[in-house]
């Protein structure tokens, strides 16, 4: 985590601000949902998709701006000097919204669900996708900036405090992610509240939550190995969920 108290406070405030941006994006996208006509999905899709993409991209730009301000203040707190910010953004927003929206509605109908039920059922996943795409502006900006900053050793995943097992696993690794092309690090699912924090030292001090994630991951590896199974990510995450304490753990 950040080496200064000010840096830690900035990271927490930035995470909360990004979660709020994502929430506003979801609310606005949901308000546009009825522009899709369940009786004419293909015909109503162009207008719906154009207006929804504009709304989500507006929040994505806000996410970038908030991340840019955070990066400047954070570097000043950690190093005493500001640095260049590299803006980055997702490029597949329209496609992602389309897949989570009308394409998913059609898939649910094809599986036997009544059209009206499918239309309502698809909304939750779609709302999460709108939230994700908006927040990716800030997430990718942090990753890209850390990757270009010669003083940065990388960046780490910052959870919302109640992560799923997958996000906890990524956060348990610390600042191992190097840039915006970090395959694992930039994987954010719908409704994910994770953000990121640049690291300027290899002397990473895990937070109490990160230590818990590390312990859970270690225990999961021991469980999978003890079962005589080949260790892979899918089995590890399943074992972590069964231990409890994660958003996607079984409810007992």
Judged by DSSP in three states, 219 sits in helix
- Each domain of the chain, given as residue ranges in start order, spans 5-243
252, pLDDT greater than 90: no
Judged by DSSP in three states, 222 sits in helix
- Tens digits of per-residue pLDDT, 122-149? 999 999 999 999 999 999 999 999 999 9
- Tens digits of per-residue pLDDT, 104-114? 999 999 999 99
240, pLDDT greater than 60: yes
Cβ neighbors of 14 (< 8 A, separation 6 or more) are: 66, 67, 70, 74, 138, 195
Total-model pTM: 0.93
Report how far apart, in Å, the C-alpha atoms of 91 and of each of 24, 26, 99, 155 are.
Answer: 20, 18, 14, 22
pLDDT score recorded for residue 183: 63
- Tens digits of per-residue pLDDT, 13-70? 999 999 999 999 999 999 999 999 999 999 999 999 999 999 999 999 999 999 999 9
Lowest-pLDDT range of 60-64, 221-225, 228-232: 228-232
Lowest-pLDDT range of 4-13, 70-79, 159-168, 228-237: 228-237
196, pLDDT greater than 70: yes
1, pLDDT greater than 60: yes
179, pLDDT greater than 90: no
């Amino acid at each position: 985590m950040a080496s200064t108290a000010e840096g830690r406070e900035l990271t927490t405030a930035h995470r909360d601000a990004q979660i709020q941006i994502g929430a506003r994006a979801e609310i606005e996208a949901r308000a546009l949902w009825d522009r899709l006509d369940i009786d004419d999905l293909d015909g109503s899709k162009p207008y719906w998709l154009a207006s929804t993409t504009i709304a989500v991209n507006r929040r994505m730009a806000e996410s970038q701006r908030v991340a840019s301000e955070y990066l400047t203040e954070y570097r000043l707190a950690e190093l005493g000097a500001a640095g260049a910010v590299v803006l980055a953004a997702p490029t597949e927003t329209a496609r992602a919204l389309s897949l989570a929206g009308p394409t998913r509605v059609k898939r649910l109908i094809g599986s036997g669900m009544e059209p009206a039920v499918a239309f309502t059922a698809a909304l939750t996943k779609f709302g999460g996708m709108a939230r994700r795409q908006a927040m990716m502006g800030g997430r990718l900006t942090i990753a890209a900036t850390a990757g270009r900053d010669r003083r940065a050793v990388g960046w780490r995943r910052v959870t919302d405090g109640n992560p799923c097992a997958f996000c906890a696993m990524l956060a348990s690794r610390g600042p191992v992610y190097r840039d915006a092309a970090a395959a694992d690090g930039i994987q954010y699912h719908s409704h994910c509240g994770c953000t990121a924090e640049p690291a300027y030292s290899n002397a990473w001090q895990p937070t109490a939550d990160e230590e818990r994630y590390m312990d859970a991951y270690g225990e999961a590896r021991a469980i999978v190995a003890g079962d005589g199974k080949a260790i892979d990510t899918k089995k590890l995450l399943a074992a972590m969920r069964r231990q409890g304490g994660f958003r996607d753990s079984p409810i007992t």
